[in-house]
Structure 1
Amino acid sequence: MNNVAEQWNEQAFIEELLSDLESGRLVLPTLPDVALRVRDAVEDENASASNIAKAVSTDAALSARLLQVANSPLYRPRTPVDNLQTAIARLGQKQIQNLVISLVMQQMFQATDEVLEVRLRGLWEHNVEVAAICHVLASAIPVLQSDQALMAGLVHDIGILPILVRAEEVHELLDHPELLDSVTSKLHTQIGAHILKQWSFPETLVHVVQEHENMAYDHDGNADYTDLVIVANLKSHAGTDHALASVDWSGVSAFERLGLDTEMEVIIMDENLGQVEEIQEMLGG
């Protein structure tokens, strides 16, 4: 490991990656047309279930998945849902938007390289877990919306994706996880913010991506979505070998702004474990 680390120049790799990011040479994930059409339909002030259904129906696999979710135990339907308009009415427009983006994002986290595929799958499962925790915690916090919280959790680590794709070209990175972890920890928040700006996501979510691993993050006023993702991310990494697993939660001010102490957060999550798991299943995690 030491010999590899000595031979491989991490700083040169980082500088090249950032240069490619700024020049547009770095391959970044893009949202498919169907996701953009659904987002436009939902954000239209005259949005209707019919318009949204029309946007979704252009993708047969996506349509089938949304119907499956609408009929899942999470929504406990009394009668089967057999058409998109009814599914949209049952799930809600914002939830449909979140599900569509979740489903198209899931397709991004795939690779032909076996080592990379395992890592991407683990990353997707982590994103889904953080999204589910965010959704549950936000439901008890009046100033935060559960739908927005879920999306914040889903995209918080999107910046790791282009790094892993580039890593396919650098055997030292794929063969030595410690090197790859070091690079991703230094770059993924900056790259992730760049991606969300390209996707025209709200500045609130761009801020989440930029700051979610900043344990010194502090601000006046009410809790925000960055506070929420910081806490959910810590919860997800607890008990793993991730660097954040060693963080002393008592020193993280996000807990206080969310009205949680560390023991209370554990209790809340234990009580809502079933709901977290249902949301994870819904999102494909």
Structure 2
Amino acid sequence: MPTQASQIRHLLPLRGLPEPVLDYIAQQAWSEHASPGEDLYALDGPKESAYLIGGKVTLTLENGNTRQIEFGTPAANIPLVAPKPDHAVRAVCDGEVELLCLPRDLIASIYISWWATEQKQSDGIELKEDNLEDQIYMNFYQQIQAGDYELPSMPDIAIKIGKAVENPNSSSDDLARIITADPPLATRLIRTANSPAFGGEKSITHCRDAVTRLGYGNTRNLVTSFVLKNLFKTDSPLIQKRMKQLWNHSRRVAAISHVLACMSPGLISDRAILTGLIHDIGAIPILIAASEYPELMADPKKLDRLVQSLKGEVGALILRTWGFPQSDIDAVLHCDEWFRFNEQAADYTDLIIVAQLFSYVGTHEMQNLPPPDLSPAFHKIAGGKLNPLLSISIINEAEKEISAIEELLEGN
């Protein structure tokens, strides 16, 4: 009989996960039986994570003490195997025992990406004035609240192009007039329009023709990308390295978002690229300001925590100042909430969440993140038709397209 979500929602670290995630995890569960006297920690014992769902088990601890775990008690809600209870060295079955098993990598990932975060939130964050990191956080936060934060400015040309694209009465001539006010930008746009990705049989030399060939959405995205790139710059070599990593990540997420949006009803691929480009915009002023704190410069992990805790709110302030739509502001605020769930159709926040997780696959950052298919957003993209093998296949097959979009957004 298939395992139901109701049978696992009380288990740790699954407790509190959104219902669709529990349903998905339940599909991966299976049961095993163990005989009286069998040691579950023996070499031939279960290798995956296992919970006691029938019978009793006696644990022997490192100090020689013993304690009994019985199905139906709170102690049975934590894994009996992978991970073992603290200090346990033997787990002997007192009669017939039934175990509910789940992939150990899955449980380990949930402990790191979900349970640890939930515990921190439920415990609350206590800021201490004698703690340097907390002092810096409070200084940054007070500046934000007071409106004293120096926010980056979006060049007027990008704002004008954005408004022109949203205006249904705009023409290619209208967009071209705005772009030609910046000759280097116009030159780059024409060069892009003549690139293999967009090139037709005839080479073009006029900005109006470039806008027509590229389309309004691509024109807006490319102009925004070209001007945004200049914001990811600073005089500090250490911070500039971080800026480069941030820009590369933003381009990668934008490109993957385009691919996923093409598969998802209600989401526009051109809009997805733009949201991907600006989803981490709040990190820029924080990184620039961090160069004034030697303690942060000397401790990358401390800097990471500060950026992570503030970038959403700072990014939302920036986008409101720039006049971006609420959908982009929501994405900036919630794009790192891997287990975000609502009953609505997939939105751009869902898209960026999934695109980010895919962008981290195969990197060391993935060690602290859930696999994409554990995110509720994953099961909303592409009309809910994705599965792990299909999604990886899609991303791999689209890698050339993703790389081409990244290169276009780089704008060299």
Task: Give 5+ residue unaligned stretches, structure 2.
Answer: 1-128
Amino acid in structure 2 at the alignment position of 1:65: R
- 1:272 maps to which residue? 398
Separation (CA, whole Å) in 2 of partners of 1:121 and 1:164: 12
- 1:254 maps to which residue? 377
Separation (CA, whole Å) in 1 of partners of 2:371 and 2:277: 24
Among 194, 198, 206, the alignment partner of 1:83 is: 206
Amino acid in structure 1 at the alignment position of 2:318: I
- 1:32 maps to which residue? 155
User: Which has the greater radius of gyration?
Assistant: 2
Q: Deviations over 1:252-273 (max 9, x none)?
A: 1111111222222211000110
- Please report how far the alpha carbon of residue 146 of structure 1 lies from its aligned counterpart in structure 2 after TM superposition: 0.2
Amino acid in structure 1 at the alignment position of 2:153: T
Matches within 5 A, 1:1-285: 9-242=132-365, 245-258=368-381, 259=384, 260-284=386-410
Q: Deviations over 1:46-74 (max 9, x none)?
A: 20111111101111111111111101111
Separation (CA, whole Å) in 2 of partners of 1:138 and 1:245: 26
Larger relative CO (CA 8 A, sep 6+): 1 or 2?
Answer: 1
1:103–1:147 distance in 2 versus 1, CA, 3 Å: same
Could you tell me the TM-score, scaled by structure 2's length? 0.65
1:79–1:7 distance in 2 versus 1, CA, 3 Å: farther
Amino acid in structure 2 at the alignment position of 1:210: L
58-67 or 7-16, which deviates more: 7-16
Separation (CA, whole Å) in 2 of partners of 1:151 and 1:128: 10
Task: Give 1 or 2: higher helix fraction.
Answer: 1
Separation (CA, whole Å) in 2 of partners of 1:228 and 1:217: 12
Q: 2:193·2:214 contact (CA, 8 Å) conserved in 1?
A: yes
Amino acid in structure 1 at the alignment position of 2:350: D
Task: Give 5+ residue unaligned stretches, structure 1.
Answer: 1-5
Q: 2:373·2:379 contact (CA, 8 Å) conserved in 1?
A: no
- Please report how far the alpha carbon of residue 180 of structure 1 lies from its aligned counterpart in structure 2 after TM superposition: 0.6
**How many aligned positions are there?**
280
Q: 1:234·1:245 contact (CA, 8 Å) conserved in 2?
A: no
Amino acid in structure 2 at the alignment position of 1:44: N
Question: Residue 242 of structure 1: SS of its match in structure 2?
Answer: helix
Question: Residue 239 of structure 1: SS of its match in structure 2?
Answer: coil
Task: Give 1 or 2: higher strand fraction.
Answer: 2
Q: Deviations over 1:128-150 (max 9, x none)?
A: 00000000111121211001111
Q: Deviations over 1:174-218 (max 9, x none)?
A: 221111111111111111111111111010110011111001211
Amino acid in structure 1 at the alignment position of 2:403: E
Q: Deviations over 1:66-92 (max 9, x none)?
A: 111101111132111211100101111
Q: 1:116·1:164 contact (CA, 8 Å) conserved in 2?
A: yes
Separation (CA, whole Å) in 1 of partners of 2:239 and 2:145: 25
Separation (CA, whole Å) in 1 of partners of 2:181 and 2:286: 31
Q: 2:179·2:186 contact (CA, 8 Å) conserved in 1?
A: yes
- 2:114 maps to which residue? none
Could you tell me the TM-score, scaled by structure 1's length? 0.94
Separation (CA, whole Å) in 2 of partners of 1:283 and 1:7: 44
Structure 1 vs Structure 2: percent identity of aligned residues?
35
Alignment RMSD, CA only? 1.7
